[in-house]
Amino acid sequence: MELKQSLSIHLEAEKPLRRYGAVEETAWKAEGLGRNQLDIISMAETTMMPEEIELEMVKIQRLREVLVRRESELRFMMDDIQLCNDIMDLKQELQNLVAIPEKEKTKLQKQREDELIQKIHKLVQKRDFLVDDAEVERLREQEEDKEMADFLRIKLKPLDKVTKSPASSRAV
């Protein structure tokens, strides 16, 4: 009797444990399911159609692009602020030198005045290039937005039909 009990306990221990989602425990009965039901991907929190997952991924990708654009925009702004601060500092130093009467300036002060003018000129040019780059980037983003809107409009039309058809079939 004890031998039978120990054998039955040993055999039960070898059986796979029942778990949610275990492949051994999943029974696929495709005969009773329609095509739409087979396409449903089940997860712990939601049940979504592949088309809905694809749309969600497009939305997330779009959000990522918006965030990358914003980061780029903020970098342009930081560079612009830094250039403006540098220009203001140089202008302040130049004003101090210009305030000295020409007859009282040393050769070194006159050289420094010329250097400051050159540095200010270079920084202003650099800022102009930065502003031009920002404008080109803005125009490129507008074109991308237009293309993305067209793509989504085309992509969403078939999805509207898919999401509306199960709802209408339930109502019948």
pLDDT string in tens for the chain (172-residue length): 555 555 455 545 444 444 444 444 455 554 555 555 545 555 545 677 888 888 888 889 989 988 999 999 999 999 999 999 999 999 999 999 999 999 999 999 999 999 999 999 999 999 999 999 989 998 998 898 898 888 878 877 766 565 555 544 454 4
Main-chain phi, psi angles of 5, to 5 degrees? -65, -45
42: tokens are 């089940």
Q: Please give the Cα distance from 164 to 160 (Å, whole number).
A: 6
* Residue 75: other Cβ atoms inside 10 A: 11
By three-state DSSP, how is residue 17 classified? coil
Structural tokens at position 168:
């209408």
DSSP state of 45: S
Half-sphere exposure of 109 (CA within 13 A, CB side): 14
**Token pair for residue 128?**
């102009």
User: pTM higher than 0.75, yes or no?
Assistant: no
Contact at 8 Å (CB) between 91 and 120? yes
State the burial class of residue 116 (Cβ atoms within 10 Å of its Cβ: 0-12, 13-18, 19+): buried
pLDDT confidence of residue 172: 44
Residue 6 near residue 17, CB atoms below 8 Å: no
Query: Structure tokens of 111?
Result: 């050289």
Give the three-state DSSP class for 48.
Answer: strand
